[in-house]
Amino acid sequence: MKKLFICLLGVIFMLSMTFIGVGCKEEAVEEVAEAPAEEAPAEEAPAEEAPAEEAPVEELTFTFIDHGDPADPFHAKIIKGWNEAGEKLGVTTNEQFAYDEFAKTIDYTDAAIAAEVDGIFVFSVDAEGLQPSVQKAVDQGIEVVLMSSRDPVLGPEQVPFIGFDLEEQGYVLGKYLAKQLEDSGVADIGFFAEFNAPYSQMRRAGILRALDDAGIEYVAADIYEVGVDLGVAIDKTKSYMIANPDTDALLGMGSLTTPACAMVLEELGYEPGEVKWAGFDLAPETIDAIEAGYGASNVDEVFNYGFYACMALYLRAKYDFVIGDLPVATTMVDSTNIEGFLAWVELGIK
């Protein structure tokens, strides 16, 4: 009996321990469930990258030094091409005018060098006189482009030239004139230039060479320096014609003397073709004389002098691209083909 009682107590003890164990486990589970879950450490947001600094835009500055007057239609067309190219390329362009004083051309060139511009375009009428300034600019890493006359020392790989051989341009006009003088015997020819400059001398030399090649005999007066005032040019040309009424041909070597010669012929009552007349460029008065049948003018794409020069400076200064010489087309215009050029003149191209 006693053993049975002890066994019964053992069973009860075991059941009690089992019950207590289960209860403890449930409480433990509840405690675990009730315990707040530990939050995972928040991921740090990636640091914002600072915006990359944009490389500064290189601004280029070019200077055009023109020996003439911006009011002259020839020079105005060059400036138009220069400014349009500069605007499209996003460069700063400025202009200086020497008003036919060569000393000012040198002064303006030296001033541009001192200002450390990126490029200089010069309408050069005295390449030898300008050469020291050109050399100084090149030595300082400033790009230089010339028109009207080439640099006598530096080749086109260093100093490009915009234009054409001026003597060859004169030769083109001379061939045209030779046909007009075939029946004139010994031709008496008067040459007129704004001033004695390489371009006027070279054009004259080309004209006379063409006459020689065509077998035309002639007497050629020296170049008369009439200045850059149209009224003065007309007066000097008129005085010459009054003193030399047997003149067979009047030739203007520049954009001002060309119309001056034609206006004198008309004013003195000469019929178209009675005295042969020819010259260079298409000023408004030159167009009027051509349309009236007085003669012809050699024409080139004046706008492109300025446009090409700005392009050449840009490619050399920005990309170190060797340009070399850039040709500009020329041709003769008379009453037979003037209509095809009027629209280009109105646009400021020729």
Q: Any residues with CB less than 8 A from the CB of 325 and at least 6 apart, and which?
A: 150, 156, 160, 161, 162
For 27-54, letters b (16+ CB in 10 Å) and e give eeeeeeeeeeeeeeeeeeeeeeeeeeee
Spatial contact of 252 and 225, defined as CB atoms under 8 Å apart: no
Q: Any residues with CB less than 8 A from the CB of 158 and at least 6 apart, and which?
A: 138, 151
What's the rounded Cα separation, in Å, for the pair 122 and 242?
Answer: 38
Task: State both tokens at 42.
Answer: 């928040």
CA distances to 75, 157, 181, 218 from 321, rounded to whole Å, are 27, 10, 47, 47
Beta strand pairing call for 295-300 and 276-280: parallel
For the chain, the helix, strand and coil percentages under 3-state DSSP, each to the nearest 5? 45, 15, 35
Domains of the chain: 61-159+302-329 (3.40.50.2300), 166-299 (3.40.50.2300)
List the chain pLDDT tens, one digit each, 350 residues: 434 333 333 433 333 333 334 333 333 334 433 444 444 444 554 555 555 555 455 699 999 999 988 988 889 999 999 999 999 999 999 999 999 899 999 999 999 999 999 999 999 888 999 999 999 999 999 999 999 889 999 999 999 999 988 899 999 999 999 999 998 889 999 999 998 888 899 999 999 999 999 999 999 988 888 988 999 999 999 999 999 999 999 999 998 999 999 999 999 999 999 999 999 999 899 999 999 999 999 999 999 999 999 999 999 999 999 889 999 988 999 999 999 999 988 888 88
Quickly tell me which residue has 């050629």 as its tokens: 220
What are the φ/ψ torsions at residue 298 (nearest 5 degrees)?
-80, 135
